[in-house]
Amino acid sequence: MPIDKHGVAAELESNVETIQAYLEDDTGIVERYQDAFQRLPVEWTSGEIHAELQDTSYPGAYPTEEFDDVESIIVPHPESDGWENHEEVNAWAREILRDVPAMAVDGSQLPPTTSFNVPLAYVQAAWAINHHHPDGRLDRGVDGRLLTPDEVTTESDDGDYRFVDSQLVGHHRFEHEGQLLIEQIVDLADARDAGEIEQTPVVFYDGPLIASFANPLKPETRERYISTLSRIIAASHHHEIPLVGYVAGSSATELVKMTRLLLRDEFESDRVIPDAHVLTELMSPWGDTTIPFISKRDGSVDALQTTYQGESYEFRDDILFSYLNVPPGAGLDRIEFPGWLCRRDGPDGYESMYEYTVEIVRAEAGIGRGYPEILQQADSDAVLDHQDRQQFHRIVQRWAESNDVPIEWNAKALSKELRRR
């Protein structure tokens, strides 16, 4: 049945005050945070902030050394000041990206089959590398994996039976994407070392490197996400390939939390608001960023540790973030990255690998009209739709018939299939 339009409208109408209250800033809290953000590098040093917050386990954020060298946490992008249309954005971005390999991985999944008497699922990850050659070069590939009944079912608490757990597919997909991303990082490093690519590649990860989203999960499930992210970050560090976790329309609150703790008398009774709400009007219309900060959000940062190719890595104080303004997307985007980018010299024309990486990210987002084009490419290649699901069912059925495996349609699914023919 179609959606109950009148019911939705009635529900919206009955909740109008609640929704308006969420959106309104009737206390001027945004303006007061803006004032505080502007005062921070004038009134505090990074050492003083660390000392003030040292007794708080997760104060939101810590400043980096760069904090002591600036008068504002906003880094302007003056090149965009005179731009009047998207063609000028494209022209600038194409020049920045020339011969720079940008790589991304994304994934999709088919949930466990309910059409057959055996549960099977499928996860797929696609990778794409845009070399930004003047004559065009886009390398792409897809890697899929079948999930067997043991991988998509869970044993009941009493051990009497197993049941299909659709969430397991998402866990496997996350690990599959992560492994493919690591393999591509290794390949890029090998190509760089062999002289096959001239410019430093940049790897885009679609989502955060900080796994707060996994905190509510069971410990063993949370560990799967933390372990995958730890290995991705370690691969970036080990092979010296810049990595950014890209979060569109961020609602993170690390800077606000840090500021509240530093200025308790001013903000102790105020509600927490997203950093982006404070920063947006402090930035020019296109391309501005913040200086990098160290994330001290929660225990998911502390848990990022692993052994990669015989070396131990720990990232509890080494996952950084910045905010980026690249309209027309709503709000501000956020990039998360390993701290080695700030400590390593950049290519010619860039003081650090971080400065270089931010410029590449900014240009990719410019070409993509507010969202990195390479991430859009990987997403497009990875997606699995209803037709793919039907094809998967047909492949399974043909395989079962040719191998004399007793896979059968269940009655309900068979009825639907016959009606649709």
Report the DSSP beta bridge partners of residue 164. 153
- Report residue 92 as tokens: 């600038």
Quick one: which H or E segment has residue 141? strand 138-147
For the chain, how many structural domains are there in total? Answer: 1
How many Å apart are CA 314 and CA 329, to the nearest integer?
34
In a domain, 169, yes or no: yes
Most confident of 25-34, 237-246, 279-288: 237-246
* pLDDT over 70, % of the chain: 93
Cβ-Cβ contacts under 8 Å for 252 (sequence gap 6 or more): 274, 275, 276, 297, 321, 334
In a domain, 88, yes or no: yes
**What single-letter DSSP state applies at residue 296?**
E
In a domain, 129, yes or no: yes
Would you state the pLDDT for residue 22?
61
- Reported as a single tens digit per residue, the pLDDT across 357-385 is 999 999 999 999 999 999 999 999 999 98
In a domain, 411, yes or no: no
Q: Are 246 and 375 in contact (CB under 8 A)?
A: yes
How many Å apart are CA 173 and CA 164, to the nearest integer?
16
How many Å apart are CA 339 and CA 317, to the nearest integer?
8
- Report residue 119 as tokens: 């549960």
How many Å apart are CA 408 and CA 128, to the nearest integer?
37
Q: Backbone phi, then psi, for 69, in 5-degree steps?
A: -105, 5
Of 298, 297, 280, 301, residue with least CA distance to 289 = 280
Average pLDDT over residues 342-362: 97
Tell me the pairing of strands 243-247 and 333-338.
antiparallel
How many Å apart are CA 63 and CA 122, to the nearest integer?
43
Average pLDDT over residues 48-65: 96
- Report residue 346 as tokens: 């950049």
- Reported as a single tens digit per residue, the pLDDT across 296-342 is 999 999 999 999 999 999 999 999 999 999 988 667 999 999 999 99
**3-state DSSP call for residue 383?**
coil
In a domain, 213, yes or no: yes
Would you state the pLDDT for residue 21?
64
In a domain, 396, yes or no: no
In a domain, 196, yes or no: yes
Average pLDDT over residues 283-306: 96
In a domain, 399, yes or no: no
- Reported as a single tens digit per residue, the pLDDT across 146-178 is 999 999 888 777 767 778 888 999 999 999 999
Range of the domain at 81: 30-384
Q: Backbone phi, then psi, for 130, in 5-degree steps?
A: -95, 115
Q: Backbone phi, then psi, for 120, in 5-degree steps?
A: -130, 145
Q: Backbone phi, then psi, for 408, in 5-degree steps?
A: -130, 150
How many Å apart are CA 382 and CA 385, to the nearest integer?
10
Q: Are 255 and 74 in contact (CB under 8 A)?
A: no
Residue 2 banded pLDDT, cuts 50, 70, 90: low
Of 366, 342, 202, residue with least CA distance to 288 = 366
Least confident range of 2-6, 19-23, 119-123 = 19-23
**What single-letter DSSP state applies at residue 270?**
S
Q: How far is CA 149 from CA 166, 320, 330, 421, in A?
A: 11, 40, 41, 28
How many Å apart are CA 225 and CA 139, to the nearest integer?
28
Q: Are 290 and 78 in contact (CB under 8 A)?
A: no
Q: How far is CA 15 from CA 7, 10, 11, 21, 105, in A?
A: 12, 9, 6, 10, 40
Average pLDDT over residues 35-46: 97
